[in-house]
Amino acid sequence: MTNSALLLFGPPGSGKGTQAVLLAGALKMPHISTGDIFRKNVKDGTELGKQVKQIMDSGQLVPDELVNKIVADRLGDSDCASGFILDGYPRTAVQAEMLDCYLRTKGIPKVVVNLVVDYNVIIERITARRSCPACGAVYNLVSNPPKSDNVCDRDGTSLIQREDDKEDVMRKRFEAYNAQTLPVMDFFKVNGYRLVEAVGGNGAPEELTARVLAGLNG
């Protein structure tokens, strides 16, 4: 997988972020998350962060031109020269076209990993997620609850439910995904991207990682 662009694809809450971290460790490739970049800017209170927060809280997707600029800047860093993992990008046809142009210019092979997870499983998992506003720790009331009810194990801060983890926002995110992101898969197929599918669910994240790696090596 060295020198390749690994694109993680799947609906909101399918585990792209977790899989990106695990795969980055296994494949020794940098993990680039547009969501992480946006959230850092929101936390730091930058102008970009203020703009993105309003969009994310409403469950909508960040405009293509803004996402493309951020990704293009990041891919220019030296650690991406030997391949990289993209998490949360591309999400629209416009983003896919920009990325495809970049990858073709650089001669970088493309592999799409499509995480297939049942909608109801995702809703159950995401709406049970709670975060610590102080240290950033993330819990799940079902699979990874805090030791004390609704209190962070690390610093005792009351946990919160992020706006984009609430069910009504999640449903809006799914609607946006179905309308804008699913057609990107057609773009991948037409342009000859290699496709690896892996079915996830309520099992350990490492189990899904093993299936992804098996598919990549198959």
pLDDT tens track for 65-74? 888 888 888 8
Is 5-129+179-217 CATH 3.40.50.1000? no
Q: 3-class SS at 10?
A: coil
CB 118 within 8 A of CB 39: no
Instruction: Indicate the residue type of 192.
Output: G
State the Cα angle at 58 between 39 and 115, rounded to 5°. 65
Active site annotation includes 91: yes
Contact 5, 109 (CB under 8 A): yes
- Of 39, 110, 125, 129, catalytic: 129
Give kind and range of the element (H or E) at residue 136. none
Tokens found for residue 48: 């970009």
pLDDT, residue 101, reads: 93
Give pLDDT, residue 1: 65
Three-state DSSP class for 32?
A: strand
Residue 107 has which token pair? 């001669």
Is residue 162 part of the annotated active site? The answer reads yes
Residues 132-148: what's their mean pLDDT?
92
Catalytic: which of 16, 39, 74, 211? 16
Backbone torsions φ then ψ of 88, nearest 5 degrees = 90, 10
Q: Can you give the pTM of this predicted structure? A: 0.77
Tell me what pLDDT residue 8 has. Answer: 94
From CA 159, how far away is CA 139, in angstroms rounded? 9
Catalytic residue among 39, 74, 91, 110: 91
State yes or no: is 129 an active-site residue: yes
Catalytic-role residue among 53, 162, 166, 172: 162
